[in-house]
Structure 1
Amino acid sequence: MSQQVSKTIITNKKAKFDYELTETFEAGLVLEGWEVKSLREGQVSLRESFVVIKDFEGWLHNVNISPLISKSTHYKSTPTRMRKLLLNTNEIKKIKVHIEQKGLTCVCLSMYWKRHLVKCQLALARGKSNLDKRRVLKERAWNIDKQRLLKSNKQ
């Protein structure tokens, strides 16, 4: 009997709160061996990650992949290095146009396994204002209170 393994490595919950998401993409990542091992252990943070397009190549910034305790001592690992994204040319052009002309940003929403490969879900996003964030919090609080009232009235 095989164990059920979760395919999602990590999700960026803060991105859905801080940004208004418009369009999503799937991209592969160019990783080193120690990074894949760390991802299997779940030692990664997407908190302030974003994508930059340079020379028609996508680069993922601010992703912190912590090295394992049992890592090699003769190799210097850099946890926050830029990681190359594997995207189609059309996707790169589309992202670049949205970033430059419409003022959107491209953020990483999640990392997951697709067969034996690590994939990254990217989204074009526009930053929310503090007013919008407060409105979302009020709606959530009201929905919780509403559910509580409905539950108490049923009994």
Structure 2
Amino acid sequence: MISFIKALSIMSSTMIKKKINKSGSASIAQNRRARHDYFIEEEFEAGLVLQGWEVKSLRAGKVNISDSYVVLKNGEAHLFGATITPLTVASTHVICEPMRTRKLLLNKRQIDSLFGRINREGYTVVALSMYWKNAWSKIKIGVAKGKKDHDKRASLKDKEWRVDKARIMKSANRA
């Protein structure tokens, strides 16, 4: 009987130490248009202040950050233009606003850096991706400068050349 209890306690302690991997990706949403429309100079990771219904919608993948950007006011950063579609079963007693501005959690030094670059150098801050980090939802924002049409054509040409070069190298390695 004592050996059974010891074996049970050893099993439970090893089960606690084992990290449980969730199925699926940690990524919630991507803003692919941002890299096409802007030169991304610097990236920051920020936390989000969310309500309960928003977290449930994020877990269901009901978010769109393609038109979102960051606004700085009163020494705080806010995400503007992100759409989190509410689930119909998740929130019956709460009034859901899908397009509300959400506060970003950044250090004071990071906010000052963003504020200086936006005001002096003419940059903008766009949302790049939203993902899970442990149990917290994070958003990657980028300090960006807008591309002109000829810049977009040049970057598309470079991308096509990289694909062709990889294809050529792959066929050369086979021969």
Q: If the length of structure 2 is used for normalisation, what is the TM-score?
A: 0.81
2:75 equivalent to 1:56: yes
- Corresponding residue number in structure 2 for 1:7: 26
User: Aligned runs of 1:73-84 on 2, under 5 Å?
Assistant: 73-84=92-103
Please list the CA deviations of residues 51-107 of structure 1 after superposition, one character each: whole Å capped at 9, or x if unmatched: 011000100000000111313333221111000011111111110000000000011
Structure 2: unaligned runs, 5 residues or longer: 1-19
Q: Does 1:46 align with 2:65?
A: yes
Encode CA deviations 1:16-54: one digit per residue, 9 max, x unaligned: 111101111111110000000000011101101110110
Match of 1:123 in 2: 142
When you count helix as a share of all residues, which structure comes out higher?
2
Q: Share of identical aligned residues, percent?
A: 45
Using CA pairs under 8 Å that are at least 6 residues apart, name the structure with larger relative contact order, 1 or 2.
1
1:98 equivalent to 2:117? Answer yes
Moved more, 69-78 or 132-141: 69-78
Q: Which moved more, 1:79-88 or 1:111-120?
A: 111-120
Corresponding position: 1:29 with 2:55: no
Which residue of the partner structure matches residue 161 of structure 2?
142
Secondary structure, counterpart of 2:35 in structure 1? helix
CA RMSD of aligned residues (A): 1.8
SS of match in other structure, 2:100: coil
How far apart are residue 152 of structure 1 and its match?
A: 5.1
Letter in 2 for 1:132: D
Structure 1: unaligned runs, 5 residues or longer: none
Q: Which moved more, 1:49-58 or 1:10-19?
A: 10-19
2:23 partner SS: coil
- Closer/same/farther in 2, CA of residues 24 and 145 from structure 1, 3 Å limit: closer
Deviation at 1:142, TM superposition (A): 2.9
1:92-151 deviation digits (Å, cap 9, x = unpaired): 111000000000001111111122111111111101111110111122223333444455
Which has more radius of gyration? Answer: 2
111-120 or 38-47, which moves further after superposition? Answer: 111-120
Counterparts of 1:109 and 1:45 in 2: how far apart (Å)? 11
Q: How many residues align?
A: 155
User: Aligned pair in 2 of structure 1 residues 91, 3: CA closer, same or farther (>3 Å)?
Assistant: closer
Does the residue aligned with 1:95 lie in a helix, a strand or coil? helix
Q: Give the secondary structure class of the aligned counterpart of 1:85.
A: strand
Mapped to 2, the partners of 1:149 and 1:8 lie a distance apart of: 32
